[in-house]
Structure 1
Amino acid sequence: MAYITTTELAERPGAREIAQVASLQHQMVNDYALMDATLRGADRSNWSQELQDTADLALARVLDAVNESAAVIDGFLVQRGYALPLQLTPTSTGKSLLTAWSRAITRYLLNQNRVMDASKDPVVRDYQDAMRMLGLLAQGKLSLGAGDPEAAAAVGSTDVRFAGDAPTFGRQQLRAFR
């Protein structure tokens, strides 16, 4: 299950960046309006079939990266014990977290051919942050927020009670030694 849509990628990071990183060297999508229309599923009749085919190839690379990022996220969710596919309401904080992490991983996967300085590049920094947060989620140190199905299950299972024999030396027994 994809945690981000191509429409959300058209919003951020935007059609320009997607066109630059998802296009092949010899088949660049130079018309960013075409890439935006392709990502949003809008009408593309104003462009030639050849340009549309080039944009479709870039879209296929984007969808591959989206699916790969979903697989990475699912790997962390399974470690925590989530049932997949994860069904969260669109307004939940968990959905927005998963979308942000998926965006960071997708951008990183699309930019993999670029020479990046990990200390200065926001794409690498966002990817590393997403992976670190997913690791914390898998360890149980981070919750998806309100509506997190695992957090709700964990709350009910933390009730621990101990039973034992009556104390041998309690207050009542020791009163005789005063």
Structure 2
Amino acid sequence: MSYVTLTQLAEIPGALELAQVATDKGQRPVSAELMDATLRGGDRSAYAPAEIARADAAASRIQEAVIQASAVMDGYLSKRYPLPLVESNPMLSTWARAITRYQLHTDRISDERTDPIARDYRDALKFLQLISESKFHLGANDPTTGTASLGDFLINPGDKVFGRDRRP
């Protein structure tokens, strides 16, 4: 199961960044407009076939990173949930986006301690680890919480201690 779509990635981090990191090394990046149309399945008829082929190759690299990110996430999630998860969760999409983005930025030169891409990646893995250890839940969409798994609440008011009906 893929936790993030190419359309979601076109939104954040955006087609410009993805074009810059997913285009073949040594080539000028695919234009942001063409990358956006490719990721969203839009009209690309105004572009040359060679440009479309380069955009398709970049989209293929992005899709491969999405598949790898989903596999990493499944490794953590499978310790606690039967896969594939029935319902999507926004947190999972955010974490998949962070892992995908990190994998695509393999050539960046930065301090891992202060790099926001590395920070988001580490945070995603930390939360996935907490989920696998049952220390963090997916919220309302978590299949392991709710009345079915926790049981029903029973309230027993007990006997009255004071009142008009009680006589010593």
Q: TM-score range by the shorter chain?
A: 0.7 to 0.9
1:77-120 CA deviation, whole Å, 9 max, x = no partner?
Answer: 1112x11111115xxxxx10000000000000000122231122
Segments ≥4 residues shifted beyond 6 Å: none
- Native 8 Å contact 1:7 1:40 kept in 2: yes
Q: Which residue of the partner structure matches residue 127 of structure 2?
A: 133
24-33 or 147-156, larger mean C-alpha shift: 147-156
Within 5 A, what are the aligned runs for 1:141-160? 141-152=135-146, 155-156=149-150
Q: Which residue of the partner structure matches residue 62 of structure 1?
A: 62
- Native 8 Å contact 2:23 2:58 kept in 1: yes
Q: Which residue of the partner structure matches residue 167 of structure 1?
A: none
- Native 8 Å contact 1:29 1:35 kept in 2: no
- Residues matched between the structures, number: 153
- Native 8 Å contact 1:28 1:54 kept in 2: no
Say if 2:118 is the partner of 1:124: yes
User: Shift of the alpha carbon at 1:155?
Assistant: 4.0
TM-score of the aligned structures, taking structure 1 as reference length: 0.81
CA change 1:154–1:140 in 2 (3 A) is farther
Say if 2:102 is the partner of 1:103: no
- Native 8 Å contact 2:23 2:30 kept in 1: no
- In structure 1, runs of 5+ residues without a counterpart are 90-94, 160-178
- Native 8 Å contact 2:76 2:128 kept in 1: yes
In 1, the alpha carbon distance for the partners of 2:102 and 2:146 equals 32
- Native 8 Å contact 2:30 2:51 kept in 1: no
Kindly provide the amino acid, as one letter, of the partner of residue 83 in structure 2. Answer: L
- In structure 2, runs of 5+ residues without a counterpart are 154-168
Within 5 A, what are the aligned runs for 1:39-58? 39-58=39-58
Cα-Cα RMSD: 1.8
Kindly provide the amino acid, as one letter, of the partner of residue 110 in structure 2. Answer: M
In 2, the alpha carbon distance for the partners of 1:154 and 1:72 equals 29
TM-score of the aligned structures, taking structure 2 as reference length: 0.85
- Native 8 Å contact 2:30 2:54 kept in 1: no
In 2, the alpha carbon distance for the partners of 1:135 and 1:147 equals 18
In 2, the alpha carbon distance for the partners of 1:154 and 1:143 equals 16
Choose between structure 1 and 2: higher helix proportion. 1
User: Shift of the alpha carbon at 1:25?
Assistant: 1.6
Kindly provide the amino acid, as one letter, of the partner of residue 13 in structure 1. Answer: P
